[in-house]
Chain A
């Protein structure tokens, strides 16, 4: 193992700091670009209605104990009966999301835009980092790592004697990619919370499938037990009043 290496300050001034600044700026730029590109497409009434039904059913599930049993039963039937309940999805109608996407080019377009705004800047920065800043040690991470990480972290440095914690600029890039997410959520507000990992998850799942969530909501509603909370409130009110009168 080598003794402590001393890195050139030029690396700090021309690699480490610029890379971070660029990544922050790109993150902010991407935020505003995606805000601009967010198209206001004409929503489908069916999808709006399904969304609203789900909200309402969720409310029913959450607040079931606040309405009388009779009202609850009536609503439950209204939502989940097998003939024309709001949450009931006929078998054949359950669309394949993939097929749905192809039938609606707008949706595919939206998807594309979202993914492009993520992929393009990332690929470009990665290429830029690889092209300009490869082949030297750029940073040292302050904790030891095992030899296995060498190929990953010291990509482009062909020295087997350097400690693994000395890493190349590409590793610094990845560290930035993941670590800056917290910073973005601080400076850009919560809207940026749909971070890359979540987006990747969405990409593999290809959007959300309303019929599926309708079904899930129906199942949730089916198993709920109604336990009217109001009788307890009488005692609570008594306690409140007793305190007040005293």
Chain B
């Protein structure tokens, strides 16, 4: 991961003691979501180019996309210091948001790189 997800350090966190009532700051949440979307799109594009250059086809390519997304999720979780709930309201946010949005970008750049390297 490069420096594109550097801004989620500013998220709020009230107190981990007895954290039974959620205290979220909507603005910071939105910022975190933006960072996630940004990282995902970035990774999807980079992953697409890599998959194309490697010449992955059919199912392998999609598995590669899935792997890239899993790596992104893990990296984001690590960035959040493995305490998702102090930065986001649910796990789904980190794991699923932007998954399908990134797919189109992935396919585009995959095709592009694949065609340029392997077809012509």
A and B in contact, CB less than 8 Å: yes
Chain A 46-67, CB-CB to B under 8 Å as 1, else 0, gives 0000000000000000100100
> Nearest-CB distance from A177 to chain B (Å)?
9
Count residues on chain A whose CB falls below 8 Å from chain B CBs: 36
A240 x B115 contact (CB < 8 A):
no
Does A73 sit at the interface, judged by CB under 8 A? no
Kindly list chain A residues whose C-beta atoms are within 8 Å of the C-beta of B20.
Answer: 232
Does A229 sit at the interface, judged by CB under 8 A? yes
A182-B41, A239-B17 known; A142 vs B61 contact (CB < 8 Å):
yes
Kindly list chain A residues whose C-beta atoms are within 8 Å of the C-beta of B111.
Answer: 139-142, 172, 175
B104 x A178 contact (CB < 8 A):
yes
B58 x A186 contact (CB < 8 A):
no
Q: Which of A12, A65, A243 contacts B116 (CB 8 A)?
A: A12
Kindly list chain B residues whose C-beta atoms are within 8 Å of the C-beta of A243.
Answer: 17
- Tell me the dominant secondary structure on chain B's binding face: helix
Segment at the B interface, from A3-11, A27-35, A92-100: A3-11
Q: Which of B18, B38, B52, B108 contacts A239 (CB 8 A)?
A: B18
Kindly list chain A residues whose C-beta atoms are within 8 Å of the C-beta of B15.
Answer: 236, 239-240
Q: Whole-angstrom distance between the alpha carbons of A62 and B116 in the complex? A: 52
Within 8 A of A (CB), among B23-66: 26, 34, 37-38, 41-42, 44-45, 51-52, 55-59, 61-62
Kindly list chain A residues whose C-beta atoms are within 8 Å of the C-beta of B116.
Answer: 12, 16
Q: Whole-angstrom distance between the alpha carbons of A75 and B17 in the complex? A: 31
Q: Which of B52, B61, B107 contacts A175 (CB 8 A)?
A: B107
A182 x B115 contact (CB < 8 A):
no
Does B101 sit at the interface, judged by CB under 8 A? yes
Q: Whole-angstrom distance between the alpha carbons of A5 and B120 in the complex? A: 9
Does A143 sit at the interface, judged by CB under 8 A? yes
- Tell me the dominant secondary structure on chain A's binding face: helix
Kindly list chain B residues whose C-beta atoms are within 8 Å of the C-beta of A12.
Answer: 115-116, 120
> Nearest-CB distance from B48 to chain A (Å)?
8
Kindly list chain B residues whose C-beta atoms are within 8 Å of the C-beta of A11.
Answer: 120
Kindly list chain B residues whose C-beta atoms are within 8 Å of the C-beta of A142.
Answer: 51-52, 55-58, 61, 110-111, 114
Q: Whole-angstrom distance between the alpha carbons of A186 and B44 in the complex? A: 11
Kindly list chain B residues whose C-beta atoms are within 8 Å of the C-beta of A16.
Answer: 112, 115-116
A183 x B57 contact (CB < 8 A):
no
Kindly list chain B residues whose C-beta atoms are within 8 Å of the C-beta of A178.
Answer: 104, 108
Does B87 sit at the interface, judged by CB under 8 A? no
B108 x A175 contact (CB < 8 A):
yes
B105 x A182 contact (CB < 8 A):
yes
A141 x B120 contact (CB < 8 A):
no
Q: List 20 A-B contacts (CB under 8 A).
A: A6-B120, A8-B120, A20-B112, A139-B111, A139-B115, A140-B114, A142-B55, A142-B58, A142-B61, A142-B114, A143-B58, A143-B61, A175-B111, A180-B105, A182-B102, A183-B41, A183-B45, A183-B105, A236-B18, A239-B17
The 6 A-B pairs of least Cβ separation, nearest first, read A179-B108, A182-B105, A182-B41, A143-B58, A178-B104, A142-B57
Q: Chain B interface (Cβ within 8 Å of chain A)?
A: 15, 17-18, 20-21, 26, 34, 37-38, 41-42, 44-45, 51-52, 55-59, 61-62, 101-102, 104-112, 114-116, 119-120
Q: Chain A interface (Cβ within 8 Å of chain B)?
A: 5-9, 11-12, 16, 20, 62, 65, 139-144, 172, 175-176, 178-183, 185-186, 190, 229, 232, 235-236, 239-240, 243
